[in-house]
Structure 1
């Protein structure tokens, strides 16, 4: 057939968009290649119509009806064509859903630009195919971009149409599902009061990132031009049709340094040579090429367009020859989006396959039969394009993209001409998009402010803090609360703090867990342990000194009159009491825990038992001095030795039972003090521990009462008064120790015990032996038998 059997309708969103003109050339190149290829649709010539929509949906429908009816008058469902066969095939690019749905009734469509996700529903739109992926992939990519730069506070500007409403609905669902908040949604309308309201909204906003979606049309441009000062430092992310904007200088300034996603591009074989051969002389009837040279090179034409363009673009006229090539006006890019190219080849292969299979079946198929067959052939088309890529439609009626590219759009000025430069600054795969990582080369991105913008509702919470609701509407607006004791957070904007293990504790900044410090009375790190050690040694030496004095003066009356053996036993027990302090110092272990309480309990029992025996012997001695007294037979060493042995044995028995049933042991207290592990001794049996203390208390109380009753006997050799004071000190110390012991933990509790031991031992030493040492060393004249007898006679 020497005429155009199948008609392609190609619709453009902009009459002078240079990027779209490159796509148109790719479209025309594919048709020319198919017409020259004898293996595809032989004897069939493909033709095309290029129609500019001017951003008007009504003009789109009007143009489609003119193509279908074959006349300048639009007559639905009627064709005025006398020859040629129309296949009802339409190629679309970049219109609202409402416009597309109106066109669907006219036949099959393969679009190279429509990304509406709703059109993937095969039950509703079985005749719709496209060579691009749906918007849902772009929305996921946008979310990954926002998360990459940690932008959680964004605004959305959309066109006031069905496309803008759909984009915002789907985009909001994806964005909010990833913890990103939308500060405002502005719908650009034609009403001045509405635009004024939105202008105020943007003016009060704090977000530094704005997503522009919906349909790019001339109705939206005045609003953006008005908001130019507000968007001067705001980064824009353009979606769908907004990724190709109008080449107005004012508009380019607003969207300078924008970010957008585009599908993968391939090198089209022969495209460079095709560009080099395009000029006004080779394409004299191309009105779009005339506009390109008019804007890019300021070429003077005879058309009235120049007057309009001169005022709109502030052009200065230049005389240009007809041989000026397209590459002189446009920056040639080897990688061109190949969707238009694939759309032509997909339809050509589908028609070719259908002709091969139907040639021998039905010479003149019915229309409904033709439609069913064509739908199947388009769905099952498979071919390899000249670039080597395998092309086929998936179950959604789409040719899946291999990658999405992140494009940074930069405006440059050269020789008084403003041009745009698209820089590829990132990419991501589309297979299992949710699992793909967005790779961004930040060093190649040109920002409006010269640095990465910060778009958050508030400053991020530093490590050591967690996010807490501020009570507002948006979840991205929150307050930072420091982690509680025992918790850390080592990341920025942590949702919650993590509890440290029991053996660890947060550092001062609460960003990491460090081992807890061990707490005990250490010789190396604790001054208190050193002080107790020095005091214990000094009192031990003092006790040895007193013992030496008593040995030296053991034959003197003052020493012999007070039971020399009990005095030596008492001094020895006091000495061991002072030395017992070292069992409480240093790191507790099981053996020291078992010895410390049992040792000081036994030693103190011997000391108090000795005082009880001394007191009892004083009472017996004075009763025995009376003539004919029967108490004389009780004098001697058997009674005091028996008292000491029996009383001490009871304490020993209690300790043996304690160690046998539930002995003390080393214990780690992890919870009493923050950041510390207290190494302490667990008493094992609390009953046994207080039994030891209680028994010592009973011995002390008995000694105190007995000494108090005989305190009025002659002072020269009567120790009852000194024993009374010593027991008063002993009981006072241990009674006051109990509440202090119960109210403290760790080394403080041990310090209370050591203080009680030292104080009570020093009280016994001072009250019992200092008066005697005073007489022995300072007043030796009182240490005579005559003086003692004189006192007795006076009594």
Structure 2
């Protein structure tokens, strides 16, 4: 609204002025503002805006006469020091033969009285001039000032830049920090030597991150500075996953009820850190209420607008604001400034009303009346004498911590260097159309903006000055800490620095040992909504609360988190599993049936026992090979059967131990060939038994010629050779290989032998099953043969055991996980092998060893005769 109003006024003045041109041969100034200022002539004039007074007083309106112009009250010594710094800097430049040679700089400096209206009036005076008339009928030509240093506040800078930016008049502010002023399209000629609020916010968030303060309160003033800073702060906090516990605005009118509500919010919140973006005038009522409510135990974070404000450095506020951390603009040193401040005199510069007002406030006198009152008596006016020295212990003469003054110093030098670069241009090599250079006598403001954008120099203090594409200076802040002094008041100490580089980003350096903490522990406070989640857990946000309020949930099996406050758990790679604490991935346990575990030892023992039993039976049969019972049962096939059973028992050892390529290839091949050799021997034995029985009858006397020794051997070899071919084709086409299986048990790697080809394995087992079925069928059909040929009964029983074992094997094998599937297969091999060994050979060994009297031909024949 203010901006629109002043643009309207400005255009109205132009229209009135244009109308007067039609009636006169001279340009007439339509109005004159009463402003406090300072002036010095020169070839090129720079303008300046400073807050020399705290308040603007507007006279009462009667609506009958033209109102009196507003005037300013309550002189500010510190701000006047800034104005004098600009005057000092211009004098220093004029004395420098290497900068702007043959050119003398002058200045117009005005007081804006901390009021938008006054600031805008001062800016219009700078750009339009204060001469009542000039003879140029077109009202054209260079403006009275080529550039302006100021305004110090963001809101006036926005208004002034919105208007002067239309004419590309360069403005270099030394204190306006609103991030909105970095919008180059809206403010094309605005520059500043102070970092914007965007960096101020980043710097403050870096301090919060450094101390782990993720849960903070926010208070900001109801102006452009506070509103824009608060918005940027909340966005930056969200970027780093931090939360604002509460956000309260300080209104212009400082209603006591609003102040009490804000205090109540601070006290009710669990946040122990409060960030404040405000100017001193907004914040004072709140701090008064803090004292009234005796509110301690809070860590205050001050923005640069009040971080070094002396109004708060009183013993009354020490218990509440002691330990405050704040950031402020870079402190610098200006050689010779102190002497310059001590030697100014109003008589030397009679046109400078601002200097006269300073003198009156410094010595408490009236410069016009020539008298003052002291102890009730009128005495000689020290204002006219001017022989008294200026006191050295005032805010005006204090140059120990030049912050705003140092920014003013850099702003003036930036304009001077831009002018110097403009003068160094060689005709024909200029940056403007036609490679032309700018003429210093006909300088246009936009030409100076071009050079100001490219300014690059280093101050005597060693700081580099340049502007980015948005007109912002290199960002650097000092970190301040409010500490108690010997007199009980607050004293400010610099405890760190924050700067931002193009490649390094925001860098915070703190001397933590030098920081004073206003807490019983003398340590930084904790300000979090929820404690950090340790490694092995993840954060789960509480419903309806900010992200900083969360619960810690343990990661699931196979998932880990190895950082604090992990948002998600990470799944371990395939061959890794989570540790017991779920904070790291460890190699999965490799599982296989080993010789060291109890199950492996038991199965190995059973395999060796079976091998030994087969060997003992073989020894018994070999020792009694000439006895009738051995000879009657086809001793050659019996020895072949015992040999194959021994191989069946021994092939179990290939299934135990860490799978390797050769063991995976041999285990099923040896198993298949051994069992085919075993079953084929039984099959031939069964066929021989049937043939012997038939040959004992007249109609079957020729049956034995087909089952002689040669035919028996050939049959066994032929049936076994077919299994060898099956194994060869299987191994050559899709050989079994070692395989790490992650699907049985997620937490372990089951090391097993992949069969390679399901079809090959099925054919191998199917062939064994076919032979076993045929053997069982023939033995079952011959079960009723005479007792002296009861071998068929034993074979039937052995085949019944064999088939039952392998039929039960299939579902047990499929449903068994990991190494237990291998154990089931081994158990089937051992069970079927023991079944064959016991069912076929145990009755014979019983007669041979325990009843040798029955191991005779007569006994066998007698039984036969008896049965007949």
Q: Where on the TM-score scale, by shorter chain, does this alignment land: which range?
A: 0.7 to 0.9
Give the 3 Å change call, closer, same or farther, for CA 679–103 of structure 1 in structure 2: closer
- Counting only pairs closer than 5 Å after superposition, residues 715-794 of structure 1 correspond to structure 2 as 715=787, 718-794=790-866
Query: Is 1:260 matched with 2:260?
Result: no
Give the 3 Å change call, closer, same or farther, for CA 694–100 of structure 1 in structure 2: closer
Query: Please, which of 327, 333, 358 is the counterpart of residue 400 of structure 2?
Result: 333
Q: What are the superposed Cα offsets for residues 322-362 of structure 1, whole Å, 9 maximum, x if unpaired? A: 998529999973665511334566678899999999xxxxx
Deviates more, 1:753-762 or 1:495-504: 495-504
Query: Is 1:647 matched with 2:710?
Result: no
User: Which residue number corresponds to residue 572 of structure 1?
Assistant: 643
Mark the runs of 5 or more structure 2 residues left unpaired by the alignment. Answer: 1-37, 56-75, 97-101, 134-142, 345-355, 365-373, 377-387, 426-439
User: Which residue number corresponds to residue 605 of structure 2?
Assistant: 534
Query: Is 1:224 matched with 2:290?
Result: no
Give the 3 Å change call, closer, same or farther, for CA 609–339 of structure 1 in structure 2: same
Q: What is the CA–CA distance in structure 2 between the aligned matches of 1:433 and 1:639, rounded to whole Å?
A: 92
User: Which residue number corresponds to residue 684 of structure 1?
Assistant: 756
Q: Secondary structure at the match of 1:157?
A: strand
Query: Is 1:97 matched with 2:155?
Result: yes
Query: Please, which of 263, 271, 296 is the counterpart of residue 199 of structure 1?
Result: 263
User: Which residue number corresponds to residue 446 of structure 1?
Assistant: 516
Q: What is the CA–CA distance in structure 1 between the aligned matches of 2:814 and 2:333, rounded to whole Å?
A: 85
Q: What is the CA–CA distance in structure 1 between the aligned matches of 2:499 and 2:464, rounded to whole Å?
A: 20
Q: How big is the shift at 1:564?
A: 1.3
User: Which residue number corresponds to residue 50 of structure 2?
Assistant: 10
User: Which residue number corresponds to residue 731 of structure 2?
Assistant: 659
- Counting only pairs closer than 5 Å after superposition, residues 462-541 of structure 1 correspond to structure 2 as 462-472=534-544, 474-524=546-596, 526-541=597-612
Deviates more, 1:245-254 or 1:23-32: 23-32
Give the 3 Å change call, closer, same or farther, for CA 32–425 of structure 1 in structure 2: closer
Give the 3 Å change call, closer, same or farther, for CA 378–244 of structure 1 in structure 2: farther
Q: Secondary structure at the match of 2:529?
A: coil
Mark the runs of 5 or more structure 1 residues left unpaired by the alignment. Answer: 70-75, 292-300, 304-320, 358-368
Deviates more, 1:551-560 or 1:373-382: 373-382
Give the 3 Å change call, closer, same or farther, for CA 595–386 of structure 1 in structure 2: closer
Q: What is the CA–CA distance in structure 1 between the aligned matches of 2:694 and 2:256, rounded to whole Å?
A: 123
Q: What is the CA–CA distance in structure 2 between the aligned matches of 1:701 and 1:372, rounded to whole Å?
A: 114
User: Which residue number corresponds to residue 556 of structure 1?
Assistant: 627
Q: What is the CA–CA distance in structure 2 between the aligned matches of 1:126 and 1:681, rounded to whole Å?
A: 75
- Counting only pairs closer than 5 Å after superposition, residues 146-545 of structure 1 correspond to structure 2 as 146-189=208-251, 190-217=254-281, 219-227=282-290, 232-245=296-309, 246-247=311-312, 248-270=314-336, 326=393, 333=400, 336=403, 338-343=406-411, 373=444, 380=451, 386-387=460-461, 396-397=470-471, 400-401=473-474, 403-414=475-486, 416-429=487-500, 431-432=501-502, 435-449=505-519, 450-472=522-544, 474-524=546-596, 526-545=597-616
User: Which residue number corresponds to residue 35 of structure 2?
Assistant: none
Give the 3 Å change call, closer, same or farther, for CA 287–385 of structure 1 in structure 2: farther
Give the 3 Å change call, closer, same or farther, for CA 715–199 of structure 1 in structure 2: farther
Deviates more, 1:670-679 or 1:686-695: 670-679
User: Which residue number corresponds to residue 201 of structure 2?
Assistant: 139
Q: What is the CA–CA distance in structure 1 between the aligned matches of 2:248 and 2:687, rounded to whole Å?
A: 103
Does the CA-based 8 Å contact 1:667-1:680 persist in structure 2? yes
Q: Secondary structure at the match of 1:187?
A: strand
TM-score scaled by length of structure 1 = 0.78
TM-score scaled by length of structure 2 = 0.72
Q: Secondary structure at the match of 2:507?
A: coil
Q: What are the superposed Cα offsets for residues 623-681 of structure 1, whole Å, 9 maximum, x if unpaired? A: 33345642564464345434423332332332233234333233332444324333322
Query: Please, which of 670, 678, 693 is the counterpart of residue 622 of structure 1?
Result: 693
User: Which residue number corresponds to residue 431 of structure 2?
Assistant: none
Q: What are the superposed Cα offsets for residues 292-348 of structure 1, whole Å, 9 maximum, x if unpaired? A: xxxxxxxxx989xxxxxxxxxxxxxxxxx9998529999973665511334566678
Give the 3 Å change call, closer, same or farther, for CA 395–79 of structure 1 in structure 2: same
Q: What is the CA–CA distance in structure 1 between the aligned matches of 2:781 and 2:589, rounded to whole Å?
A: 53
Give the 3 Å change call, closer, same or farther, for CA 108–79 of structure 1 in structure 2: farther
Q: How big is the shift at 1:597?
A: 1.1
Query: Please, which of 664, 668, 671 is the counterpart of residue 600 of structure 1?
Result: 671
Deviates more, 1:453-462 or 1:386-395: 386-395
Q: What is the CA–CA distance in structure 2 between the aligned matches of 1:395 and 1:662, rounded to whole Å?
A: 69
Does the CA-based 8 Å contact 1:12-1:94 persist in structure 2? no
Q: What is the CA–CA distance in structure 2 between the aligned matches of 1:494 and 1:42, rounded to whole Å?
A: 64
Query: Please, which of 5, 25, 28 is the counterpart of residue 84 of structure 2?
Result: 28
Q: How big is the shift at 1:48?
A: 6.6
Q: What is the CA–CA distance in structure 2 between the aligned matches of 1:44 and 1:331, rounded to whole Å?
A: 26
Q: Secondary structure at the match of 1:751?
A: helix
Q: How big is the shift at 1:759?
A: 0.9
Give the 3 Å change call, closer, same or farther, for CA 273–689 of structure 1 in structure 2: same
Does the CA-based 8 Å contact 1:61-1:99 persist in structure 2? no
Deviates more, 1:470-479 or 1:34-43: 34-43
